[in-house]
Amino acid sequence: MTIEINQISELRKKFDLKLKSINDTKELNDLRVEFLGKKGSVTLLLKSLGKLSPDQRPVFGSAVNNLRLEIETSINKKYEELRLLELDREEKSQRIDVTLPSRSKTYGGVHPVSQVTFEVIEIFKGMGFSVALGPEIEEDFYNFEALNIPPHHPARDMQDTFYFKDGRLLRTHTSPVEVRAMRALGAPIRVIVPGKVYRRDSDPTHSPMFHQLEGLLLDEDISIADLKGCLDVMLDTFFGRQLKKRYRASYFPFTEPSLELDIECVACSGKDPKCRICKGSGWLEISGLGMTHPNVIRAGGIDPERYNGFAWGMGLDRLAMLKYGLNDLRILFDGNLSYLLSGRDC
Ligand code: DAH
């Protein structure tokens, strides 16, 4: 067997030519295998050296070895070049444009009604009230009877009630918790009751589920002036300024006397005859209230001869609407995230 010396130079030429057309490290690796791999052309040439005659071996041996070394060196050099180019390309394709707007994150927010509830609780806490809660599925007794509304009392018509088959109902107001709290805590007592209530009502200003805040204070020698002071302080603190108020005579079976409280319109202060919030009247109804009826105090297990006091019930949704300038109550409950998450503190 013989090796032609030009066989070696042919191989070198072939390699040089192929190397020129290589564009990436993968192609380069294929080229390495083609020439230096187990079955590569240079490897095969090296293997065949053994079959040469002893006088040919040194000459061709060193020539083939040189070829192998040169190819190795060229490949390594090319590899470094290609790697740099590839890194450059990668970097360019993955470059971050810091001027692009970032992806916005949406955070959960506290619902306006919850925010208002927390605020009002804080204000009443400052006046010594604690929070009492009661069941939303209520017994007829607590919702009506204990509140001086007997089965045939016409006041039951005031509230269109959701009844269960077993006679229980979805409470129509937070007032039943007054009686539950009296029975649980006795007198003297100062409680507020925030919570959901239910009525068969649905229009822009009524939702079948809404929120009320009940209040009850019983002690010795309580007067209507205490009641007035308490609600005046709460409303001025909540709205952040001293508002005009008017107390009108009203009727509720569970209070005697009964009143209703209006505040000056927080949107127009009575100056806009076309105001959408107060409909031009200048006043907003904010709460029912009164001196707790002796029958109710008695139903709560407390002696009305010794203790007297007052109660009120106001709409928390209405307070939220006024605070945030809404004219449709339903927006609070229809789950529109873009409204619910917009611009309020978490
Ligand atoms: N429970 C009444 C309602 O839902 C509101 C109310 C009026 C509560 C007078 C009271 C009160 O405690 O004294 O319409």
Is residue 311 pLDDT above 90, yes or no? yes
Distance CA(340)–CA(323), nearest Å, equals 15
Residue type at position 29 = N
Domain annotation covers residue 279: yes
Is residue 104 pLDDT above 70, yes or no? yes
Task: With beta carbons less than 8 A apart as the criterion, state whether 170 and 139 touch.
Answer: no
Is residue 302 pLDDT above 80, yes or no? yes
What per-residue confidence (pLDDT) applies to 151? Answer: 84
What per-residue confidence (pLDDT) applies to 7? Answer: 84
Mutating to test ligand 1, I would choose from 144, 149, 173 the residue with most ligand atoms within 8 A of its C-beta, which is 173
Residue type at position 215 = G
Convert the pLDDT of each residue in 160-189 to its tens digit: 899 999 989 999 999 999 999 999 999 999
What per-residue confidence (pLDDT) applies to 158? Answer: 60
- Confidence band of 342 (pLDDT split at 50, 70, 90): low
Helix (H) or strand (E) holding 177, with range, is helix 176-185
The helices-and-strands tally (H runs, E runs) of the chain is 11, 9
Mean local confidence (pLDDT), 114-128:
97
Residue 156 belongs to a domain with what CATH number? 3.30.930.10
Helix (H) or strand (E) holding 258, with range, is strand 255-264
Same domain, 180 and 324: yes
Same domain, 296 and 206: yes
Convert the pLDDT of each residue in 218-260 to its tens digit: 999 999 999 999 999 999 999 999 999 999 999 999 999 999 9
What per-residue confidence (pLDDT) applies to 5? Answer: 73
What per-residue confidence (pLDDT) applies to 226? Answer: 97
- Phi and psi, residue 216, nearest 5°: -145, 130
Is residue 344 pLDDT above 50, yes or no? no
Counted domains in the chain: 2
Residue type at position 282 = G
Is residue 114 pLDDT above 90, yes or no? yes
Convert the pLDDT of each residue in 38-55 to its tens digit: 999 999 888 888 888 888
Is residue 88 pLDDT above 80, yes or no? yes
Same domain, 68 and 158: no
Same domain, 120 and 246: yes
Residues 6+ apart with CB under 8 A from 86: 24, 25
CA 254 to centroid of ligand 1, rounded, Å: 8
Domain annotation covers residue 75: yes
Is residue 329 pLDDT above 90, yes or no? no
What per-residue confidence (pLDDT) applies to 143? Answer: 96
Task: With beta carbons less than 8 A apart as the criterion, state whether 260 and 288 touch.
Answer: yes
Same domain, 214 and 178: yes
CA 145 to centroid of ligand 1, rounded, Å: 14
| Nearest residue by C-alpha to atom 6 in ligand 1 | 313
Same domain, 292 and 160: yes
What per-residue confidence (pLDDT) applies to 156? Answer: 73
| Nearest residue by C-alpha to atom 5 in ligand 1 | 313
What per-residue confidence (pLDDT) applies to 346? Answer: 37
CA 248 to centroid of ligand 1, rounded, Å: 14
For 320, half-sphere exposure in the C-beta direction (CA atoms, 13 angstrom radius) is 24
- Confidence band of 340 (pLDDT split at 50, 70, 90): low
Is residue 308 pLDDT above 80, yes or no? yes
| Nearest residue by C-alpha to atom 10 in ligand 1 | 312
How much of the chain exceeds pLDDT 70, in percent?
95
Q: Which of 61, 93, 125 is the last residue of a domain?
A: 93
What per-residue confidence (pLDDT) applies to 176? Answer: 98
Ligand 1 close to Cβ of residue 311 (< 6 A) = yes
Distance CA(313)–CA(170), nearest Å, equals 17
CA 110 to centroid of ligand 1, rounded, Å: 27
Q: Which atom of ligand 1 is the closest one to the Cα of 175?
A: 1
Domain annotation covers residue 10: yes
Q: How confident is the prediction for the chain on average, in pLDDT?
A: 90
Structural domain of 88:
2-93
Is residue 84 pLDDT above 90, yes or no? yes
CA 292 to centroid of ligand 1, rounded, Å: 10
Domain annotation covers residue 324: yes
- Confidence band of 345 (pLDDT split at 50, 70, 90): very low
Query: Which residue do the tokens 């076309």 mark?
Result: 274
Convert the pLDDT of each residue in 204-214 to its tens digit: 777 899 999 99
Same domain, 149 and 83: no
Query: Which residue do the tokens 């229009």 mark?
Result: 203
Domain annotation covers residue 205: yes
CA 95 to centroid of ligand 1, rounded, Å: 65
